[in-house]
Amino acid sequence: MTDKTPANDQADKDWADLQRDLDTLGEQLGSLRSHTAALGETLVADLEARFQDVRNRSLTFRNATETQLETLRQQAMQQASEAGAKSAEIAKDTARQMWERSEPLRQGAQEVGQGLVRAWSEIAASFGKAADKYQQAAAQKRTETSTGEEGHTPS
Protein backbone atom coordinates (compact mmCIF):
# COMPACT_ATOMS: atom_id res chain seq x y z
CA MET A 1 0.00 0.00 0.00
CA THR A 2 2.56 2.56 -1.13
CA ASP A 3 1.23 5.78 -2.50
CA LYS A 4 3.34 7.71 -4.98
CA THR A 5 3.39 11.31 -3.86
CA PRO A 6 6.04 14.00 -4.20
CA ALA A 7 6.96 13.50 -0.52
CA ASN A 8 7.37 9.74 -1.05
CA ASP A 9 9.42 10.31 -4.19
CA GLN A 10 11.72 12.69 -2.29
CA ALA A 11 12.05 10.21 0.59
CA ASP A 12 12.90 7.41 -1.85
CA LYS A 13 15.48 9.66 -3.54
CA ASP A 14 17.01 10.58 -0.17
CA TRP A 15 17.12 6.92 0.82
CA ALA A 16 18.78 5.99 -2.47
CA ASP A 17 21.37 8.76 -1.90
CA LEU A 18 22.09 7.42 1.61
CA GLN A 19 22.43 3.87 0.29
CA ARG A 20 24.81 5.05 -2.45
CA ASP A 21 26.89 6.95 0.14
CA LEU A 22 27.01 3.89 2.39
CA ASP A 23 28.03 1.70 -0.54
CA THR A 24 30.77 4.19 -1.46
CA LEU A 25 31.99 4.19 2.14
CA GLY A 26 31.98 0.39 2.14
CA GLU A 27 34.06 0.31 -1.05
CA GLN A 28 36.49 2.81 0.43
CA LEU A 29 36.80 0.71 3.57
CA GLY A 30 37.42 -2.32 1.39
CA SER A 31 40.21 -0.52 -0.41
CA LEU A 32 41.76 0.29 2.96
CA ARG A 33 42.36 -3.44 3.37
CA SER A 34 45.21 -3.16 0.93
CA HIS A 35 46.76 -0.55 3.18
CA THR A 36 46.39 -2.53 6.39
CA ALA A 37 50.10 -2.77 6.84
CA ALA A 38 50.37 0.96 7.21
CA LEU A 39 47.18 1.47 9.25
CA GLY A 40 47.06 -1.72 11.23
CA GLU A 41 44.68 -4.65 10.97
CA THR A 42 42.74 -3.73 14.11
CA LEU A 43 41.91 -0.21 12.99
CA VAL A 44 40.59 -1.35 9.59
CA ALA A 45 38.57 -4.19 11.16
CA ASP A 46 37.12 -1.75 13.69
CA LEU A 47 36.15 0.71 10.91
CA GLU A 48 34.51 -2.08 8.90
CA ALA A 49 32.60 -3.30 11.96
CA ARG A 50 31.31 0.20 12.68
CA PHE A 51 30.36 0.64 9.06
CA GLN A 52 28.35 -2.62 9.10
CA ASP A 53 26.74 -1.52 12.37
CA VAL A 54 25.68 1.85 10.89
CA ARG A 55 24.40 0.19 7.74
CA ASN A 56 22.41 -2.41 9.69
CA ARG A 57 20.93 0.25 11.95
CA SER A 58 19.88 2.36 8.97
CA LEU A 59 18.14 -0.66 7.41
CA THR A 60 16.50 -1.52 10.74
CA PHE A 61 15.35 2.08 11.14
CA ARG A 62 13.89 2.15 7.64
CA ASN A 63 12.07 -1.16 8.14
CA ALA A 64 10.73 -0.05 11.52
CA THR A 65 9.58 3.27 10.07
CA GLU A 66 7.84 1.56 7.15
CA THR A 67 6.16 -0.85 9.57
CA GLN A 68 4.98 2.03 11.75
CA LEU A 69 3.67 3.94 8.75
CA GLU A 70 1.82 0.88 7.49
CA THR A 71 0.32 0.35 10.96
CA LEU A 72 -0.75 3.99 11.06
CA ARG A 73 -2.31 3.70 7.59
CA GLN A 74 -4.25 0.61 8.64
CA GLN A 75 -5.42 2.30 11.84
CA ALA A 76 -6.52 5.36 9.88
CA MET A 77 -8.47 3.17 7.45
CA GLN A 78 -10.05 1.28 10.36
CA GLN A 79 -11.01 4.51 12.11
CA ALA A 80 -12.43 5.93 8.89
CA SER A 81 -14.60 2.86 8.32
CA GLU A 82 -15.72 2.89 11.96
CA ALA A 83 -16.56 6.57 11.66
CA GLY A 84 -18.59 5.85 8.53
CA ALA A 85 -20.49 3.07 10.28
CA LYS A 86 -21.04 5.28 13.33
CA SER A 87 -22.25 8.10 11.09
CA ALA A 88 -24.73 5.76 9.39
CA GLU A 89 -26.00 4.59 12.80
CA ILE A 90 -26.40 8.19 13.97
CA ALA A 91 -28.35 9.00 10.79
CA LYS A 92 -30.66 6.02 11.40
CA ASP A 93 -31.22 7.07 15.01
CA THR A 94 -31.97 10.64 13.96
CA ALA A 95 -34.45 9.46 11.33
CA ARG A 96 -36.11 7.16 13.90
CA GLN A 97 -36.39 10.04 16.40
CA MET A 98 -37.88 12.34 13.77
CA TRP A 99 -40.40 9.63 12.84
CA GLU A 100 -41.37 9.18 16.48
CA ARG A 101 -41.68 12.94 17.04
CA SER A 102 -43.93 13.28 14.01
CA GLU A 103 -46.33 10.59 15.29
CA PRO A 104 -48.65 13.18 16.95
CA LEU A 105 -48.75 15.11 13.66
CA ARG A 106 -49.64 11.99 11.69
CA GLN A 107 -52.28 11.08 14.27
CA GLY A 108 -53.70 14.62 14.13
CA ALA A 109 -53.83 14.54 10.35
CA GLN A 110 -55.65 11.22 10.47
CA GLU A 111 -58.18 12.63 12.95
CA VAL A 112 -58.71 15.72 10.79
CA GLY A 113 -59.32 13.48 7.77
CA GLN A 114 -61.83 11.38 9.70
CA GLY A 115 -63.53 14.57 10.93
CA LEU A 116 -63.84 15.83 7.35
CA VAL A 117 -65.41 12.54 6.29
CA ARG A 118 -67.94 12.76 9.17
CA ALA A 119 -68.67 16.42 8.44
CA TRP A 120 -69.18 15.71 4.74
CA SER A 121 -71.57 12.85 5.48
CA GLU A 122 -73.51 15.05 7.94
CA ILE A 123 -73.70 17.84 5.36
CA ALA A 124 -74.96 15.34 2.78
CA ALA A 125 -77.55 14.06 5.23
CA SER A 126 -78.63 17.62 6.06
CA PHE A 127 -79.01 18.46 2.38
CA GLY A 128 -81.03 15.27 1.93
CA LYS A 129 -83.34 16.21 4.82
CA ALA A 130 -83.69 19.76 3.51
CA ALA A 131 -84.53 18.44 0.05
CA ASP A 132 -87.16 16.10 1.52
CA LYS A 133 -88.73 18.95 3.54
CA TYR A 134 -88.75 21.17 0.47
CA GLN A 135 -90.42 18.47 -1.61
CA GLN A 136 -92.98 17.89 1.13
CA ALA A 137 -93.67 21.62 1.46
CA ALA A 138 -93.97 21.97 -2.30
CA ALA A 139 -96.30 18.99 -2.48
CA GLN A 140 -98.41 20.37 0.35
CA LYS A 141 -98.59 23.79 -1.31
CA ARG A 142 -99.71 22.16 -4.57
CA THR A 143 -102.32 20.19 -2.70
CA GLU A 144 -103.60 23.33 -0.94
CA THR A 145 -103.64 25.25 -4.18
CA SER A 146 -105.51 22.53 -5.98
CA THR A 147 -108.11 22.15 -3.18
CA GLY A 148 -108.55 25.89 -2.95
CA GLU A 149 -109.32 26.16 -6.64
CA GLU A 150 -112.04 23.52 -6.50
CA GLY A 151 -113.96 25.58 -3.94
CA HIS A 152 -114.07 28.66 -6.23
CA THR A 153 -116.14 27.80 -9.23
CA PRO A 154 -117.45 30.70 -11.34
CA SER A 155 -121.19 31.12 -11.41
The answer as to whether 138 is a domain residue is yes
User: pLDDT tens digits, residue range 22-81?
Assistant: 888 888 877 777 766 666 777 777 888 888 888 888 888 888 888 999 999 999 999 999
Residues 94 and 135 in one domain: no
- Tell me the pLDDT band of 1, cut-offs 50, 70 and 90: very low
- Structural domain including 124 reads 110-146
Please check whether residues 93 and 133 belong to one and the same domain: no
Contacts of 62 (CB under 8 A, 6+ apart): 15
Query: What distance in Å separates the CA atoms of residue 73 and residue 65, rounded to the nearest whole number?
Result: 12
Let me know whether 81 and 126 are in one domain: no
Q: What is the mean pLDDT of the chain?
A: 83
Does residue 153 lie in a domain region? no
